Structure 1
């Protein structure tokens, strides 16, 4: 009877540990493919009530470009920023974006698929769709 209980306990424990994710849970090539397949676009209204559009283009070589456009009445202004990027997590759910030597932002809790890119960009929730 004790042996049966011990076997049941060991089997239960091995079942739970087998379900733990590992760094192999997400494939680097697949995550990078989805991230780099398109331009990612998000439209929103900023805290000053101005309509904005933010677009990211990630390249497989670790470079990228961001376009940030503001639509003021009678005036549209677009800024272009080049950056370097890399995955900062073995689960491929966090990205460091470096615009310069002292200018780095993080895109955390990233979820990327064929038609969406979501996460917390520099602490604010962001949702992007293919452009």
Structure 2
């Protein structure tokens, strides 16, 4: 069941939701470097900036391509309010992802809780 849910959700995201959301000026975006291709990969995310950190939760944890990219190369860029910031991403499996979602934007957090199967907190340390 988890595998089927993952396949359905990621297919909808890849071909419908992500292309539409990337075009929204206010959408937060995460840019990683493809672990195989070496080219930039951009995905919409929903999180919150706290000082020089940006926090979000991956709904499929290590099965998410962008998490695999982060594990291969933690250097990322994040678009917040239309401006790009460089930083280093850190997967935090020890963090309580469900609790973390309570501190993040409600709409995205609700979707992640409903759609997700393997929640994983990610912290991006933003460069100055």
**Fold conserved (TM > 0.5)?**
no
Q: Which has the higher contact order (CA 8 A, sep 6+)?
A: 2
- Structure 2-normalised TM-score? 0.28
Which protein has the bigger helix share? Answer: 2
- Structure 1-normalised TM-score? 0.28
Q: Which has the larger radius of gyration?
A: 1
Which protein has the bigger strand share? Answer: 1
